A and B are shown apart, each in its own frame.
Chain A
């Protein structure tokens, strides 16, 4: 019989190999998550010490918390815009790269690097370019007659953080889209061309539907990213301002806990966010499992 699994001669070797990863997960994810869930059911005194169980109070209080509800709405707008922008721009780039197949190698390499840039640095770069007083882009906009100051204009601030956040996700999406595009058999596109479809119709009726598993996967990844990993961008660029215009939920959690010192409320907000990610993950697995494979 052919042994198909990787074979380890010792039992402890595979355990030793995964142990560090497990430890990191336990210490930096499972334990804090557990602590968060527990403290979501308690109210703490502002100066520590006193702590008592309040059941679901921290959660129900969120309903009456105007700033939390505002943040919720902001998050929906922010996440939808970031995801849509990241997906559409990367798809556009991938389609073009796929067409100019010969140059694809260089192109891929060029587009992969922003992904390596930490989100905060990306944010700083954007901030520089759009700095109302010294930024190149800001000046260009002023020159075009668009007064630019995201420190006072909430919409502009939102546009800025959306662009800065989407920016990092584009290269990641691009690589997936390009791989998916390259796996579309060229004979399908040729058959469609012979059937009379022009390039645009071919894309929307043949290529795009065949990309849908990839698109859905990236949709979830980008949503999760925009919900949870954009803290760095917000903190560097706007700190949630102006007037809470970019105060998305992850930032709200931080504000409530570390600035407002309401640890219980902050924990409850975290739990809501966690439920979100769990929901998205379940949805994704459902979709992938039930997916008709072509």
Chain B
């Protein structure tokens, strides 16, 4: 049985529909990541699950129990907010104890749970008597997580919990959250904007766009087999390169706008003359002496381990990830080709859906 189940869940503010029928099942103990562009309804989805937002239509169940009409406190969930939402007038200890006191837990047990959370989160016990404003951002983040942990809920909700932290702390907390999940095994829904968090944290990834779910699957699967053009462009940084093209008469090649000819991946029958969008990830392009794409270098970003080449021709811009440092200079001509055996992605121009299930290409 699914730990959490959304069935045809809709949300509208007045006449503004925000979510258009979400179907999603989350397994017990699963770590599920929700990503999508700003305003696509991620927070709304989470807030409806938490009981902070009314459900306009459909049902949400937690542990097999429909929670549509239940108050947040009856749902056995804990939530970590982006701005932490720590009670400013209470000590750190009381922040964590608040929910437990309400449940009339004996003092000794409250203390035991907080001590345990302090240990798990590696908080300094001296901090317990401080007020939230006397803590750094990272410490506040830990306290907010502590407040969620001590409750021992059946579901954890995170709404962009790390977005207010600096890059280094974010990496550290990301690992900590992952470790925490492995330790406690509590079903978790985690909303993020961050590509790395999306790819590394969860067991499954939900990509949302405009109030719809575009794709659900393990991060690597979503990355390798994006189901729609949107997902292909959204997941991955830098984003996938797209080119418009048409399937040729033989059904074996795609002719791009600029006249380049690419062999189609096997595994599907392509209708001749169909308009398609061809997607190629930057790391699947390589600079060669002779290849289909001829461009001028716009700039090169040396990232250390590799470098990003930004180049353009009449059809538009392309980004290519090159190994090591690159000595290419702006204005220079460069020729790119798709790497041998690297996947190209084909999307129907009209439906925006993926055209083939297989990957790979035979170099032609």
Contact = CB atoms under 8 A, between A and B. Distances in A.
Interface of A: 185, 187-188, 190-198, 201, 205-206, 209-210, 292, 294
B98 A192 contact: yes
Contacts of B102: 195-197, 201
B308 interface: no
Interface string B11-47: 0000000000000000000000000000000000000
B71 interface: yes
A198 B85 contact: no
- The secondary structure that dominates the B interface is loop
Contact of A193 (B52, B89, B151): B52
A193 B71 CA distance: 8
Report which residue of A194, A292, A294 has the largest number of chain B beta carbons within 10 angstroms of its beta carbon.
Answer: A194
A188 B98 CA distance: 12
Nearest to A294: B88
B52 A195 contact: no
Interface stretch (B74-82, B177-185, B313-321, B335-343): B74-82
Contact of A187 (B73, B81, B98, B151): B81
9 contacts: A190-B72, A190-B85, A191-B147, A194-B52, A194-B99, A195-B102, A196-B73, A198-B73, A292-B131
Contacts of A188: 85, 87-88
A193 B72 contact: yes
B51 interface: yes
B89 A210 contact: yes
A196 B105 CA distance: 13
A294 B71 CA distance: 29
B168 interface: no
A196 to B, nearest CB: 4
Contact of B83 (A185, A201, A210): A185
B52 A196 contact: no
Contact of A209 (B83, B89, B147): B89
Nearest to A292: B131
B73 A197 contact: yes
B79 A191 contact: yes
B135 to A, nearest CB: 13
Contacts of A201: 102
A204 to B, nearest CB: 12
Contacts of A193: 51-52, 71-73
A195 B80 CA distance: 11
A198 B51 CA distance: 13
B89 A294 contact: yes
A190 B52 contact: yes
Interface string B62-73: 000000000111
Contacts of A209: 89
A41 B204 CA distance: 86
Given A210-B89, A294-B89, A294-B133, A195 B99 contact: yes
Contacts of B131: 292
Contacts of B133: 294
Contacts of B99: 194-196
A294 B50 CA distance: 27
A270 to B, nearest CB: 40
A210 B98 contact: no
A61 to B, nearest CB: 48
Nearest to A206: B87
B89 A194 contact: no
Nearest to B47: A190
Given A209-B89, A294-B88, 20 more contacts: A185-B83, A188-B85, A190-B50, A190-B72, A191-B85, A191-B87, A192-B98, A193-B51, A194-B51, A194-B77, A194-B99, A196-B72, A196-B99, A196-B102, A197-B98, A198-B73, A205-B98, A210-B89, A292-B131, A294-B89
Contacts of A198: 71, 73
B261 to A, nearest CB: 55
Interface string B145-189: 001000100000000000000000000000000000000000000
A192 to B, nearest CB: 7
B164 to A, nearest CB: 13
- List the 3 closest pairs (A to B, CB-CB), nearest first: A195-B99, A294-B88, A187-B85
Nearest to A190: B52
Contacts of B98: 192, 195, 197, 205
Contact of A194 (B79, B83, B86, B87): B79
Given A188-B85, A190-B52, A196 B77 contact: no
Contacts of B89: 209-210, 294
Contacts of B73: 193-198
Most buried by B among A191, A201, A205: A191
Nearest to B81: A187
A157 B83 CA distance: 52
Contacts of B78: 194
Contacts of A206: 87
Task: Tell me which of B85, B133, B147 has the highest count of chain A C-beta atoms within 10 A of its own C-beta.
Answer: B85
